[in-house]
Copies of this chain bind each other. A is one copy, B any other.
Amino acid sequence: MKKLINDPENVIADALKGIAASDKDVRVDFDNRVIYRAAPKADGKVAIISGGGSGHEPLHGGFVGVGMLDAACAGAVFTSPTPDQMLAATTTVDTGAGVLHIVKNYTGDVMNFEMAAELAADAGIEVSTVVVADDVAVQDSLYTAGRRGVGATVLLEKIVGAAAEEGSDLAAVTAVAQQVADNSRSMGMALTSCTVPSAGKPTFDLPEDEMEIGIGIHGEPGRHREPIADAHSIAEQLVAPILADLDFTGAPVIAMLNGMGGTPLIELYLMYGEVIELLEAAGVTVERNLVGNYITSLDMAGCSLTLLRADDDLLRLWDAPVRTAGLRWGL
């Protein structure tokens, strides 16, 4: 296993140490493995928290900061955080205006966030929840009832963070979150497997001449395997199922071409060039985009495409200032 780590069992604690040292705008609760904004909480602002298994960095911890999350709970690699972590985050960030939980649709995450929300309600904190389930690849999956939650989470955390920052109340913030979740679709692929540190070997075997289409962000099986094709053909296999699932014409679209962690930027730019040609030919107008590593799968080589059917208000929230380790502009 070729990784820059110490003891495989301490990867999360060690990585949190680096996050705390590199981003002076956050503070890390090492006992609960929660990353918070360092600045005192703003009175009356709806708080936004998310979390999930680690191994998807910068998601979620890298998105804590002004204009995005108030806190993120870090689970073990590819493993849901516990309800206790989520409850600690929820009680700490609540200002009395309520807390939104952003949950990727995996059985453990959904169950634990539900439990945390109930415990928070018992403590008198109003919690609403949005479940992200944007992956069109498969209907049910290894860790999922229904679709998996993937790249839309990044776009949702940015947009909803902006809505909370400008003072929207919990009902309005939740409505924006649901709008983004309902209007986002993703599709991914992998050239290689990934290696969970504690396992020490690749999660699955993918022959040197094959790729997997429709892969999940934990290495869950996708739709099928086939011989490695050129970037243009791969782009077609990402774009087509997304456009078949939702009409992206007639509205401004936000696109994310995301790397899985082991793919360099030169290839992501190249893929974006192929994707945008196909989208333009299909009459889809991309008004904003991200190209880079935003929701990764450890060291997996591959990429995913996420499209969000936006409107002028979502674009405005997208453009609002954000200052986090993983996404930053205007501040």
Chain A residues engaging chain B, CB cutoff 8 angstroms:
2-7, 11, 14-22, 54-55, 57-58, 62, 191-192, 208, 211, 228, 230-232, 234, 257, 261-274, 276, 289, 291, 293, 296, 298-299, 301-303, 323, 325, 328-331
Copies assembled = 2
Q: Name the contact of A5 in the complex, choosing from B3, B19, B261, B267 (C-beta under 8 A).
A: B267
The answer to whether B4 and A270 have CB atoms under 8 Å apart is yes
Determine the residue in chain B with the shortest Cβ distance to A189: B4
A330 to B329, CA, bound (A): 6
The answer to whether A54 and B18 have CB atoms under 8 Å apart is no
Neighbouring B residues of A231 by C-beta, 8 Å = 4-6, 14
Q: Within the complex, what minimum Cβ distance (angstroms) separates A269 from chain B?
A: 4
The answer to whether B266 and A298 have CB atoms under 8 Å apart is yes
Q: Name the contact of A265 in the complex, choosing from B5, B274, B293 (C-beta under 8 A).
A: B293
The answer to whether A263 and B299 have CB atoms under 8 Å apart is yes
The answer to whether residues A22 and B299 also contact, given A293-B293, A329-B329 and a CB cut-off of 8 A, is: no
The answer to whether residues A234 and B276 also contact, given A11-B270, A269-B19 and a CB cut-off of 8 A, is: no
A330 to B330, CA, bound (A): 5
The answer to whether B273 and A15 have CB atoms under 8 Å apart is yes
Determine the residue in chain B with the shortest Cβ distance to A330: B331
Q: List 21 A-B contacts (CB under 8 A).
A: A2-B228, A4-B191, A4-B231, A4-B303, A5-B230, A5-B231, A6-B230, A6-B232, A11-B270, A14-B274, A15-B266, A15-B270, A18-B270, A18-B272, A18-B276, A58-B265, A262-B264, A264-B296, A265-B293, A328-B328, A328-B329
A62 to B268, CA, bound (A): 12
The answer to whether A268 and B191 have CB atoms under 8 Å apart is no
Neighbouring B residues of A261 by C-beta, 8 Å = 264-265
A14 to B266, CA, bound (A): 9
A274 to B22, CA, bound (A): 11
Neighbouring B residues of A271 by C-beta, 8 Å = 4, 18
A303 to B20, CA, bound (A): 19
Q: Within the complex, what minimum Cβ distance (angstroms) separates A312 from chain B?
A: 18
